[in-house]
Amino acid sequence: MGNEISRRGFLASGAFFATAVALSSRTAHAAQLRSTLPPSAKATDTPLAIEADDDGVLTILTAEGTALVRIDGFALPQVASTSASVEQDETSDGEHRIRIAYEMEDPAYSSAATYTVSGPAVSIEFELSAPEGAATTGAKVHRELLDPDMPDYMLFPAEIPYPFAQWSRDPRGGVPYLERTGDAYFLTWNSGQLSAAFVTPPREARPDQPHHVSYPFESTDRFPQEYVPTPLTSNESGGWACSFAFRTEAVVGESLDHYLAAEPLIGGALLAAPDLAVDVTSSQTFNLFDEAGQQTFNIGVYSNAAQTVSVELTVRDFDGTVTHQSTHDQQFDSPSAATIPVSVELPGPRSLSFLEVVASGGDSEVLARTTAAVIPPHEFGPPDQSIVGMGGFPSSPAEGATQAPGFESHEEEVTLWQRLGVKHLRNNWLTAAETQSLGIATAFQPAASPGQYADDPEGLQDWYDRAFTLGDHAGISHFELLNEWNLRGDGLGKGTFAEEYTRGWLIPFREEMDRRGSTAKLNSVGLGSWDPTFMDIVRDNGGWDVLDGVAIHPGRGNLVPDLDPIGTGPDTYGQAWNFFGAVRKAKAYLDEYGSEKELWLTEVYAPTKPNAWWGDDERTSADATLLTLALTMAVGATGIHWFQPYDGNWSEKYGVNHTDGEYHYGLTHVDRSPKPELLSFEWGAQILDGAEFLGWIESPHPDLRGLRFRNAEGPFWILWSRQDGYLVMSDHGSDGFYPQKEAWEKHTEGTLTVQIPTEGEIQVSDTIGRALSVAASAGVTVTAEPIVVQGALDPDSLGPDDVEGKASIALTDVSVAMDDADLVVSGINGSEKTMVVRIEDVPTHVTTFDVEPGEFTVTVPDVTEADQFRIFTEVFAGGQVHRAEYYRSVASPDPEPTPDPTEPGPTPEPTPDPTDGPGKPTPTPTGGPGDGGTGSGGSGNSSSGNGGTGGTSDGLPFTGLNAAGLAAAGGAAAAAGAAAKAASNRHKKSSTSTHETGTPLNAADNPTNDNTEGTNQ
């Protein structure tokens, strides 16, 4: 079965190890984390006892007298307890109960806790009285673990926290999601013979410290630096309370075994004891398979009662076709968990399957989901021919980190990177030897804060020593010096800490690199978005010359990746968080001030927070991922680091929070099953490996977009349509909720039929790399979901011959030609209103013209030489952005020989009638009200009911121009010569040439902008 990554064990290829060796399974690897004995050693309850001393310190012991935990105080971020006293200590009905009152630093607060032991469990009830309006989040109970098992990755004793979760649905609709219902903090004693857990309500928010460590708390010197989070809720008396427990039943060890076997829903159910729970997993880590065929999936079921549970499994492919459906009954004689193995046929040769299991028993019905992918292995080239990298958090921690490893072994994770074509890492997750043998370039990002070490030169030297030691050990190629300082202080575009960064960190760090003889390159602080203000200050203070590259984080929300917004101020629809605009502007900046410098995109993502409009849903995330990789290469960036491989959070590797977008940036779900974007990521890495960008598709249709590349197999195109607009989920409401569609449901409406110029057979693949069945003679269907066209493409073609389909904006028949140093642009404004047409010679340098309805010719004087010119206009209306956009290349005509002034000049040819024959320069598209026809001076294919642009609401039927027609139109434009300049003056109201520095677009801003600049409303 090839290089499948198996939880039950697999062989690593010789490319990684000198000889192939058997690697531990995911379950076996997880067992190493706890240094434990087999599960049978934990199959009994451990009765507990409690006692309190005169200072109110509570100790939890085994019944035999072995002390396990001390609890010593309570705190909120703003106030902590200072002393304690025992108010009650009694035994009744077989339960020992101790009540302790805590005196707080502020007498306006009071707190008490009741500890009750019953067999192998201690229940703990904290109460708090606080002033009205006081903040009550971030409550902590301080505790000290007494000689527990301590893996070598821990700095001091700590629990391993995992969430309880269940699949839920929002009553407003949308997709189901994992909802956190509690937390378990596991720990063991006596080499795993005693398993215990603190069981608490769910966290209020993501922690701000790494997963699996004890968190420093510096409220008072009295408290040890360890705590248990204890979220508070209001109680009937008007105060606040939190209930949690310390448990040592046999079921705790069984629960931990399920977590470590990557069956978290059943692991949590064993402790939370809901009526019913279900989960579905496979034997393969990441649920990735090399080839199609029968695979076994395990349905885990928990029942809290003796009953028969009916389980239905449904499997769908990426098109929504049901490929498997089966029903299974499981009998339970007592509260327990069971596993039902089911064989499922996974299609191939490349596929994504969605598995949903629904369990019914008694009055309860629950569901669970996962995904599985078939991806044939591909051999990727070396790092210097790839842009593809990974950032975020790995399961295997970097050297010097205090995080525990995750369920996945280091070898499994490395195999995943190789499978996905990852050739660059943002941090030091490999050794120098691994970097060399794997062919993966490694970087390192030292972290520090403004003002840190200002009065501590020894601390700064230690910081240098650690950074260079870790960098050398990983054999890094780059340092990325610090992170997003431009967002601190007054925020983006203010440069608050730019001078300190340059003088206090950047220049001294380069000097330290030189002193130590480091051969690594030095990249700038990772800038949040693109921030020229910050970078200007770096240049002004001498930092530019010490940099080898610039790192940026071009984040985006529900804007498609290829939108570079043209907002012009705070009152328009724009803001800074977009991908294409930020990257193009950063690259233009580097080209202006130092083209030899590298551009690295070190935090890039397609977020998939469930039922939220600010981001992508799971299907559009696949589109966005493929385009993001392709656009990165097209712009000329050196490399890209995908933000993180998995859902979860850097501080909670398996954390669940459906309300916090930070938990949804991965290529996989939190259970490590593949999202659609993982397949797009691998597919993009594959086709772009060693590729060369040739240019943008030169299309006759205003909504067809495309990029042309060449790799070792020949030229290929990536095509997509923007008929549907540039905003995802644009019909959202005023809050953050949006009922997303299922990932197997197509979201697109607009369709184009594209005739591909070929010299033989072509192959067409969808966004996730599946081959599509096409008949090239009938045209290729193009929607908002990108396709890849490979095979016998005409190597000389700049774009398709013909395109059919409705146009969102009636800017058509666009052609360009050179007249000396001037660019002549011709086309048709098929609307009934003035259009703002933008013409770009080099990125961000734009000349704008107000173009009246009808045929037009405008002239851009003294243009900068460019491989391709970009001509576009934009409409923002009804909450959606539409653009008519064209890329055009042009060759300057050879100069005519200077005529002899004594010889008579040639007789001018008569200008052809634009309605006659093949020389017609501006063919008129058909359609519009009453079929439109041709109006005075241009086409009459628009009405006032469609936004004045030829179809922002109902679309304009468009048959397109073929290549010959475009060439003829361009030739006619060139022949126009000086007459074109006169036409330019006749057809325009104004002409301005500017660098686009306006605020980029955000759909959350005012959707009813009536600014005439760029709106065409």
Q: 876: alpha, beta or left, given left = phi > 0 and alpha = psi -120 to 50?
A: beta
| Residue scoring higher pLDDT (663 or 211) | 663
* HSE of 407, CA atoms in CB hemisphere, 13 A: 27
Query: At how many degrees (to 10) do helices 580-593 and 618-635 cross?
Result: 10
Binned at pLDDT 50, 70 and 90, residue 890 comes out as confident
Burial class (CB in 10 A: 0-12, 13-18, 19+), 367: middle
Report the C-alpha gap between 183 and 247 in whole angstroms.
Answer: 13
Q: Which amino acid is at 314?
A: T
Binned at pLDDT 50, 70 and 90, residue 3 comes out as very low
Report the C-alpha gap between 78 and 208 in whole angstroms.
Answer: 17
Tokens of 186: 């596991």
pLDDT digits (tens, 9 = 90+) for 752-789: 999 999 988 999 999 999 999 887 677 999 999 999 99
| Residue scoring higher pLDDT (721 or 1013) | 721
Which pLDDT value is given to residue 1007?
A: 29
Cα 999–1003–1004 angle (5° rounding)? 95
Which pLDDT value is given to residue 287?
A: 97
Which pLDDT value is given to residue 845?
A: 86
Report the C-alpha gap between 790 and 840 in whole angstroms.
Answer: 29
Domains of the chain and CATH, by start: 41-253 (2.70.98), 274-374 (2.60.40.10), 383-691 (3.20.20.80), 809-892 (2.60.40.10)
Place of tokens 């086709």: 687
Q: Are 503 and 468 in contact (CB under 8 A)?
A: no
> Does position 837 have pLDDT exceeding 60, yes or no?
yes
Report the C-alpha gap between 342 and 280 in whole angstroms.
Answer: 10
Binned at pLDDT 50, 70 and 90, residue 126 comes out as very high
Binned at pLDDT 50, 70 and 90, residue 1000 comes out as very low
DSSP bridge partners of 89? 98
Which pLDDT value is given to residue 402?
A: 58
- Go through the chain and tell me how many residues it has: 1017
Which pLDDT value is given to residue 399?
A: 75
Binned at pLDDT 50, 70 and 90, residue 489 comes out as very high
> Does position 966 have pLDDT exceeding 60, yes or no?
no
Q: If DSSP states are collapsed to H, E and C, what string results for 125-159?
A: EEEEECCCCCCCCCCEEEEEECCCCCCCCCCCCCC
Which ranges constitute the DSSP H helices of 50-92?
A: none
Which pLDDT value is given to residue 649?
A: 86
**Minimum mean pLDDT among 7-11, 205-209, 702-706, 744-748: which range?**
7-11
DSSP bridge partners of 526? 483, 551
> Does position 1015 have pLDDT exceeding 50, yes or no?
no
Averaged over 557-573, what is the pLDDT? 71
Place of tokens 């139109």: 969
Averaged confidence pLDDT in the chain: 83
pLDDT digits (tens, 9 = 90+) for 164-192: 999 999 999 999 999 999 999 888 898 88
Averaged over 824-852, what is the pLDDT? 93
**Minimum mean pLDDT among 64-73, 274-283, 940-949, 970-979: which range?**
940-949
Which pLDDT value is given to residue 651?
A: 78
1006 Cβ neighbours under 8 A, 6+ residues apart: 571, 572, 573
> Does position 624 have pLDDT exceeding 80, yes or no?
yes
pLDDT digits (tens, 9 = 90+) for 393-402: 888 777 766 5
Which pLDDT value is given to residue 567?
A: 62
Averaged over 206-222, what is the pLDDT? 39
Which pLDDT value is given to residue 776?
A: 63
Q: Are 868 and 895 in contact (CB under 8 A)?
A: no
Element counts in the chain: helices (H) and strands (E)? 14, 51
Which pLDDT value is given to residue 575?
A: 64
pLDDT digits (tens, 9 = 90+) for 70-100: 998 888 989 999 999 999 999 998 899 999 9
- Give, in order, the Cα–Cα distances in Å from 579 to each of 153, 558, 887: 38, 11, 20
**Minimum mean pLDDT among 312-321, 601-610, 685-694, 939-948: which range?**
939-948
Averaged over 947-956, what is the pLDDT? 36
